[in-house]
Amino acid sequence: MLILIAGPYRSGTGDDPVKMAENLKRLEAPSYALFKAGHVPMIGEWVALPVWRAAGGGTVGDALHEEIFYPTAHRLLELCEGVLRLPGESRGADNDVRIARERGLPVWHRLEDVPGCAAAA
């Protein structure tokens, strides 16, 4: 399955690039376990960041940032078959969960609950 990993990226960082990089690292942490279980992990920022930079983005939270980041996750959810929601406050991740549920996609809150990942956790 193509699984969106959702959790805090920008939330709680004050837009500090170092803290956002730490959050991205936390989002990436379960990616190998998902891959090893036969899934394809996906994180919205993996797609949105290069698109934003290519469009001339430079200030987190500006209009261009808003135009690209949340819509990228929404488009990915049209392709994904489930969402792994990591802990932590995140308006974007909560919205991803809402959209996934509206589309009837499974949402897991623990890696070990994702099919094939019980042994990886």
Asked whether residue 121 is domain-assigned, the answer is no
Residue 64 lies in a domain: yes
* Residue 54 confidence (pLDDT): 95
Q: How many domains does the chain have?
A: 1
34 within some domain: no
Query: Distance (Å, rounded) from C-alpha 3 to C-alpha 46?
Result: 13
Q: What are the residues facing 1 on neighbouring strands?
A: none
Domain contains 37: no
Q: Is residue 118, in this structure, part of any structural domain at all?
A: no
Q: Is there a domain that residue 94 lies in?
A: yes
pLDDT at 121 over 90: no
Does 120 reside within a domain?
A: no
Mind listing the pLDDT tens digit for each residue in 94-119? Answer: 999 999 999 999 999 999 999 999 87
**Predicted TM-score of the model (pTM):** 0.93
The CA-to-CA distance between both ends of the chain, in Å, stands at 18
Please report which helix (H) or strand (E) contains residue 36, including its range.
helix 31-36
Domain span at 78 = 2-29+42-112
- In this structure, are residues 42 and 4 in contact, taking their beta carbons and an 8 Å threshold? yes
**How many CB atoms neighbour CB 51 within 10 A?**
15
* pLDDT value at residue 58: 83
Summarised one tens digit per residue, pLDDT across range 35-71 is: 999 999 999 999 999 999 999 998 888 899 989 998 9
Helix (H, G, I), strand (E, B) or coil at 85: strand
In a domain, 51, yes or no: yes
